[in-house]
Every structure is written in structure tokens, then in C-alpha cells.
Amino acid sequence: MSKKLLLKDAHVEGIRYFETYRKQGGYGAAEKAFKMTPEEILEEVKVSGLRGRGGAGFPTGMKWSFLAKPEGVPRHLVVNADESEPGTFKDRYLMEYLPHLLIEGMLISSFVLGSNVSYIYIRGEYSWIPDILEEAIEEAKAAGFLGKNILGTGFDCEIYVQRGGGAYICGEETALLESLEGKRGNPRLKPPFPAVKGLWERPTVVNNVESIAAIVPIIDITGAEYAKIGVGRSTGTKLISACGNINKPGVYEIDMTITVEEFIYSDEYCGGIPNGKKLKACIPGGSSVPIVPANLLLKTVNGEPRYMNYESLADGGFATGTMMGSGGFIVLDEDQCIVEHTMTLARFYHHESCGQCTPCREGTGWMHKILKKIEKGEGKMEDIDLLWDVQRKIEGNTICPLGDAAAWPVAAAIRHFRDEFEWHIKNPELSQTQNYGLAHY
């Protein structure tokens, strides 16, 4: 059984409220941290090996150490709670059930970074969660864990919650900052990175909800102990939101040593596939990461079992591997149509493109059009090559990763499931009425 660090108290009744959270030992890590220097805490975070839980897996301690500290310029911590990646709902769970874990993590992180005013930028569609967060902030403030002169240390910290307008692109960190400044959420060119020029051109650290929540157990058990959980550079625990054709959809905390097979089939996690259906494919890290067929999902290119961690999922690179991404684990059984699925994603990315870059603005639209044509049984064989060509022209040629995120699913679908695209073209009359018994397992 995986060790629980973040969700260990998730089912304690009333854990959403300060009193219960405190009774369970809550804010103990903050009290411990305030007896340390910011440099000592930063060292713990570095030693823990924590990697960003939003998708990129960038080492958190390293990001924090990049924060510029010009004299007299305020610095900010911004929590990215704009969780909009299809298949990803683990931050929602954390904020809804354990708001104080996030606030305690923010308090410790703000202390390290020297942020007296920190923000949570939350996805607009999570309309009921800002009230939960704001209530928790008020409770923490009343108990002296936020506000002025926290625990008599002289450190001041306020946390504000900002609701997004419901645009996927505002999860990209620089678009988020633009939106937080009150502007249209268009991504900025990087560099400069937010750590140097972020919110209102001030040095800013943008971290995912789960990354900041993980600071609490790191301080509780020490960075060295946290690093012992997991394997290699995949340290600690990771939240996975599991959905699709599984018996037990939900949010699971795993320690990154379990195999993909165990995650899908064991009763502790997804509980297998309904109606005894076979596994066709899976997208393990949110819609932006490459889809992987069952045979490559259950073992690596070297024939080793594939594990639920950053390295093992990426084994083989983009040709045969995928990514841990945000941990949005989408399972597709044998009845699912890969062409339809890829078309749905293409429609999403086209709709969500901010339109600044021509390859993304135009390319996502073209990919959607071609996929729609093939899916309806109106495609030609050349359309598959055209689709491949369009996605190639997007990848690496845009301001932000949305372009890559739109291209990768299409590339992976053609690479692994070309026969399904061909089936649609060869069987126009069956195209919309029948699903596909093509074997990929």
C-alpha cells in the first residue's frame, strides 16, 4: 500500500475546518518551519527532490533558488490552481477537502520566498471552492497563522484568492500572471522567467497546488525522509486523478514505485476495467501527454514493467513513452475510438488557443478539421500524412506549450493507431456507427 502524506487525513470528518485540522497536527509544520531560517527550509525542499506537480516536473527547490531578490522590490508566491487539463482533478480535491494543507504550505513557502502577499489563482469553473478557501484563510488569520507578525516572528503574510474566467490557457504560468494583473490571459515569451519578472514585473514563483501542499509533509518528516519515498528522481508521493473506463474513478495518492498494471487493476486503485473489457490505451498525465497503447503501457521498451513515475513513463521518449504530466490518468478500453478521441482533444485545443502564434491558432483548427473529416468517413489516405505534417509544423514553433500539447496527442495517435485512421477511410459507411475491434493489446 502506498504511503499517504497529503491525503492521510482527507477522510477525517471536519478536516476542512481549522479546529479539526489543528487537532490532527495541522500547522505543526509551520511552527517547525518558523524556528528555521528560510535558507534551511529551502535546503530541505532541495534535498526532498520535490518536482513540480503541475505537469513539467521542474525541481521546486531549484525554481525557488532562481527567485531574484532586488533590493526594495516585493516578491510574490502565486499558486496555480487553474486546473483545466482534461482528465486532471486532483487539485480540486485538495482544495475542497484539505484547504488548510494548501494554506499551511503557502505560509511556509511565502516565508522562504519572502512573499508578504501571495495569491491563489483558481479555475473559474471551480465556482464553489473560493468560498472554502476564503473561509480557511479567515480561520488561519484568526488563529494567528496569517496576517501581521505571524507567531511573533515579524513575518507578515496575506493570501488572496482570484477567480479565473474559465480559459485553459490561464493555467500557463505567464498567461495566469497577465490575467491576475487584470489583462487578457495571453502567454508571455520566456525568458524572462517569472522568477525574475513575474507579477507586475516583480520576482514571482508560480507553483501548482499539489507542489505547495507537499511542502507541509516535507517539513514534517524532513526532506531526506521524503526523498526516501519513491524511486530515483521521482521522490515523495504523487496524486493521480483516474478516470475513463475504470471501475473506481477518483483521486489516489501513490508513492511512484507501483506499476501501471497494478494501478489499473488493483482494487486499491482503479479496480480494473468494467465488464471485463480489454485495455486499449491510456493517457497517464492529462490530455497533453502522448497516448500509449496497452502493450507499451504495461512494459517499457526494454521489456521492464512500466512504473507510475516520471522516468519509467517517459521510457522511450516521445516515440514510445509518454509523461507523468499532471497525473490526469485517462483509461480507454477496447471499445473506444482513437480517432474520435483525438478529434475531441483537437477541438478542445483549437477552442482554447489564445491565437497569438500562427502555427497554434491555424494548426489546431486544421487538425480539428482533418480529424473531423476522417472520423465522419469522408477522409482520404493523404489526409493522414497531411495531419502528421500539420502537427510537425506546430511543435516547437510557438510561444507557449499549448502548441506542443495540441500536437503531441495527434502525433502519438497516428504513430500508434494508424490502422484506426485507415479503417475510417476505408469504411466510410461504418465510420460513425461501429467501434473497432482492432487489436492493440
Cis peptide before 192 (omega within 30 of 0): yes
CB 77 within 8 A of CB 207: yes
Binding of ligand SF4 at residue 355 (CB under 6 A)? yes
286 contacts which partner out of ligand SF4, ligand L3W, none, CB within 5 to 8 A by kind?
A: ligand L3W
Considering only residues 361 through 400, tell me which ones interact with ligand L3W, judged by CB under 6 A: none
235 contacts which partner out of ligand SF4, ligand L3W, none, CB within 5 to 8 A by kind?
A: none
- For the chain, the three-class secondary structure string (H helix, E strand, C coil) is CCCCCCCCCCCCCCCCCHHHHHHCCCCHHHHHHCCCCHHHHHHHHHHHCCECCCCCCCEHHHHHHCCCCCCCCCEEEEEEECCCCCCCCHHHHHHHHCHHHHHHHHHHHHHHHCECEEEEEECCCCCCHHHHHHHHHHHHHHCCCCECCHHHCCCCEEEEEEECCCCHHHHCHHHHHHHHCCCCCCCCCCCCCCCCCCHHHCCEEEEEHHHHHCHHHHHHHCHHHHHHCEECCEECCEEEEEEECCCCCEEEEECCCCEHHHHHHCCCCCCCCHHHCCEEEEEECECCCCCEEHHHHHECCCCCECECCHHHHCCCHHHHCCCCCCCEEEEEECCCCHHHHHHHHHHHHHHHCCCCCHHHHHHHHHHHHHHHHHHCCCCCHHHHHHHHHHHHHHCCCCCCCHHHHHHHHHHHHHHHHHHHHHHHHHCCCCCCCCCCCCCCC
Residue number, 223 or 325, with CB nearest to ligand L3W: 325
The residue sitting closest to ligand L3W, measured at its beta carbon, is 55
Stretch that binds ligand SF4, among 72-80, 190-198, 207-215, 353-361 (CB under 6 A): 353-361
Residue number, 209 or 387, with CB nearest to ligand L3W: 209
Binding of ligand L3W at residue 84 (CB under 6 A)? yes
Residue number, 184 or 228, with CB nearest to ligand SF4: 184
Q: How far apart are CB 400 and ligand L3W at their closest, in Å? A: 7
Considering only residues 364 through 403, tell me which ones interact with ligand SF4, judged by CB under 6 A: 398-400, 402-403
Binding of ligand SF4 at residue 230 (CB under 6 A)? no
Residue 385: strand pairing partners: none
Per-residue x/- marks for ligand L3W, 251-290, CB under 6 A?
----------------------------------xx-xx-
356 contacts which partner out of ligand SF4, ligand L3W, none, CB within 5 to 8 A by kind?
A: ligand SF4
160 contacts which partner out of ligand L3W, ligand SF4, none, CB within 5 to 8 A by kind?
A: none
Query: Which residue of 185, 194, 244, 290 would you call a contact of ligand L3W, by CB under 6 A?
Result: 194
The residue sitting closest to ligand SF4, measured at its beta carbon, is 360
Query: Which residue of 10, 36, 56, 386 would you call a contact of ligand L3W, by CB under 6 A?
Result: 56
How many residues make contact with ligand SF4 (CB under 6 A)? 14
Binding of ligand SF4 at residue 346 (CB under 6 A)? no
Binding of ligand SF4 at residue 356 (CB under 6 A)? yes
Residue number, 180 or 289, with CB nearest to ligand L3W: 289
Residues that bind ligand SF4 (CB under 6 A): 169, 187, 353-357, 360-361, 398-400, 402-403
Residues that bind ligand L3W (CB under 6 A): 52, 54-56, 58, 63, 66, 83-85, 88, 171-173, 193-195, 206, 285-286, 288-289, 323, 325-326, 401, 405
